[in-house]
Amino acid sequence: MNIYKMELHDCIGIDGYVITRVPGGWIYCRQEPHANIANPVFVHFNNEFMKTPKKVEA
């Protein structure tokens, strides 16, 4: 899933992280199956890495 296409409050799991879309960015939280520890990190929205559609020349 493309994280830039997530709607507000959508959650997805990628590589052991739960990613939640929030206003202004995302919250990443590592999931540890046998530990009751949460270390959430806020990642600010930045469109620098957004994939742009490639132009098709006719």
Query: Tens digit of pLDDT for each residue in 1-56?
Result: 788 889 999 999 998 889 999 999 999 998 877 777 778 999 998 877 677 767 77
Write out the two tokens for 13.
């799991």
Count CB-CB contacts under 10 A for residue 1: 10
d(CA 42, CA 19): 10
In this prediction the pTM is: 0.71
Nearest to 23 by CA among 39, 38, 45: 45
